[in-house]
């Protein structure tokens, strides 16, 4: 190992999350009733939902019990239509932060893009048709502390 080689790989983000489901068609229908998404691809056992430069993989075959605290934060441009869709579907939210379980027990927290430090590169937002999204002052302050403030005005 050279003197300048890092001793550890630097974690940079999440490329994808896999959710186990009991039925791919039902899962695509369920998530499609809540979120506007593009299906990247599908096989007999997997479906891939595009999230710009990331994706979610729905994988056939539920092998574990419903999740308790384990979950992931699904970032959206607007939580209002998510709440309305969950109400229409009769899906109970677990708390005011907009956590819910899908029919297979996967726990998802719906997080607003504008108010978290998570951010997409401008070219990715543009490619997703979301180039007008802005960050709240609190989110900009969080990013600024890390030297990651948005380059365009928020």
**Sign of the dihedral through C-alpha 43, 47, 50, 56:** negative
**C-beta separation of 35 from 80 below 8 A:** no
| Residue 118, pLDDT score | 86
Ordered by where they begin, the domains of the chain are 16-115 (3.10.180.10)
pTM comes to 0.85
pLDDT in tens, 2-43: 567 779 988 888 889 999 999 999 999 999 999 999 999 999
The string of pLDDT tens digits covering residues 50-90 is 998 999 999 999 888 887 788 999 999 999 999 999 999 99
């Amino acid at each position: 190992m050279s003197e300048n080689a890092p001793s550890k790989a630097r974690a940079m983000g999440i490329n994808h999350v896999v959710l186990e489901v009991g039925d791919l068609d039902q899962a695509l229908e369920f998530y499609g009733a809540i979120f506007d998404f593009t299906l990247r691809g599908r096989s007999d056992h997997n479906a891939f939902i595009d999230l710009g430069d990331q994706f979610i993989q729905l994988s056939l075959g539920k092998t574990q019990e419903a999740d308790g605290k384990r979950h992931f934060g699904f970032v959206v441009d607007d939580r209002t239509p998510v709440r309305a869709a969950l109400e229409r579907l009769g899906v109970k939210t677990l708390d005011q932060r907009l956590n819910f379980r899908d029919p297979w027990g996967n726990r998802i927290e719906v997080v607003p893009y504008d108010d978290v430090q998570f951010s997409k590169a401008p070219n990715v937002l543009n490619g997703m048709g979301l180039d007008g999204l802005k960050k709240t002052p609190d989110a900009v302050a969080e990013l600024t502390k890390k030297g990651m403030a948005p380059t365009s005005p928020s």
